[in-house]
Amino acid sequence: MSTTPIRIFCGADRSQQLPFKVLAASIRQYASRPVEIRTIDNSLAPPVAEPRFAPYTEFSFARFAIPALAGFQGRALYMDSDMLVFADIAPLFDIAFGPAKVLIEQGADPGKGKQAAVMMLDCSRLDWDVAAIVGGLGVSYGYNPLMALTPLLSPQEIGDGLPNGWNDLDIYRPGTTCNLHYTEIRTQPWVYPCHPHGGLWVKQVRALLDSGEITPDELDIEIAEGYLRPSILRELGLSDRPAKSDPASLLAWDRAKGFVPNGRLLRRFAERKKADAARRRDEAIRRRPWLAFWYRLRHRLRHGG
């Protein structure tokens, strides 16, 4: 068995620092050998001026910097931070690449297609330059193809050889789920108390509090910043109010406090959607200038400007 440390890069902006800590603890809990794990974000990539090519999150482009961060040597695993691990990650790290340079998993939900939120990278065979890759947006390829890696790799270089269960999207299958991915931003358990498998995440937070790896003061800071739901204090018995475990009551408490799940991220999505709609409006006007008034009016009614 290999004794090489497991090298993991996790996409995480400021809003995901607590979820990252929880994920990292769950990885180490089950890992059979040492783990080197760190966060990465878009500070590793050049800024994008054109709003319609802007990254969905503040860490979307960071994954393309991983081979360089690894010195173009060995293997590395990429993960989003909105996850929770239930199995030893070492066997995943040791899977043979074959002709592939990147390995992903098909995903538990076939309707959602292949998922790249968990990726094994053969850094020694990936000459990615994050600045050049981001610079190609709008010139050589669009945003969605880039995030699917298709402009960067041939079909045979993207393998779906990661075992089933390592990227289960908002489902937990006892005995099968190795990694639960809380992918729906409105229902992630740190911002929404009614996720059907959110209790698994809260249980991990409770364990970290008991061990002193996180403190109640840290939770208070995340709540003040708007990254963590206020009701978690009552759920954990840390509030001066009576403890609550009923999801409906916890949700009512958050709403009474004016908490909006992932409010900053949703505003970012709305701005990007508006910019894309403006692009489509302008393209339509160029094709049919005699309908310019109608296209502008429709855009204003739908998007407010």
pLDDT of res. 262:
72
pLDDT at 111 exceeding the cut of 70: no
Average pLDDT over residues 195-210: 97
Host H or E run for residue 6 = strand 6-11
Listed in order, strand segments (DSSP E) in 34-176 are 35-40, 75-80, 83-85, 102-105, 115-122, 158-159, 168-169
Per domain, the residue ranges of the chain are 6-180, 184-256, 263-303
pLDDT of res. 1:
55
How does residue 107 score in pLDDT terms, banded at 50, 70 and 90? low
6-180 maps to which CATH number?
3.90.550
pLDDT of res. 108:
44
How does residue 218 score in pLDDT terms, banded at 50, 70 and 90? very high
Rounded to a whole number, what is the distance in angstroms from the first to the last CA of the chain? 60
Q: What is the pLDDT of residues 54-69, one digit of tens each?
A: 888 889 999 999 999 9
pLDDT at 34 exceeding the cut of 50: yes
Quickly count: other Cβ atoms within 10 Å of residue 248's Cβ.
10
pLDDT at 4 exceeding the cut of 90: no
Quickly count: other Cβ atoms within 10 Å of residue 35's Cβ.
18
**Whole-structure pTM over 0.75, yes or no?**
yes
pLDDT of res. 5:
87
pLDDT of res. 193:
96
